[in-house]
Amino acid sequence: MPLVDPTDDSTIRFVLEHFRFDPDRNQRCNVVVAAYDNEAEFQVAFAEAQVELSKRQEEGSAESLERLSGRVLQPDYSRNQSERRSAWRAATHGVHPSPEGG
């Protein structure tokens, strides 16, 4: 299954995430496992990962809190997300988020 870059904002991505402890962040969070360019490949990978996670949980090598999830990221998702964050920050400071800055 060909993988795609989960940060490639030019294409649609089906992103597989694993909620687990992330030692880099020292907290539990969703960690990107892989990204696919079509839903069928994502579904196969999700099913395989779910079987593996269930097996590891039964063995005790994975926490019971761990889970898998997926989401679809549309083209320009990251850019749009950044623009929404900027607009929210401006609004919370009483600044109108128009291009004129008014």
pLDDT tens for the chain, 102 residues: list them.
Answer: 668 888 888 889 999 999 999 999 999 999 999 999 999 999 999 999 999 999 999 999 999 999 999 999 988 766 556 666 777 777 787 776 566 544
**What pLDDT does 1 receive?**
60
Q: What is the separation, in whole angstroms, between the first and last Cα of the chain? A: 49
Supply the pLDDT for residue 76.
75
What whole-number distance in Å separates Cα of residue 53 and Cα of residue 58?
A: 9
Distances (CA, A) of 47 to 6, 15, 16, 59: 19, 13, 11, 19
Tell me what pLDDT residue 90 has.
76
Contact in structure between 13 and 45 (CB atoms under 8 Å)? no
Query: Residue 89's pLDDT is what?
Result: 78
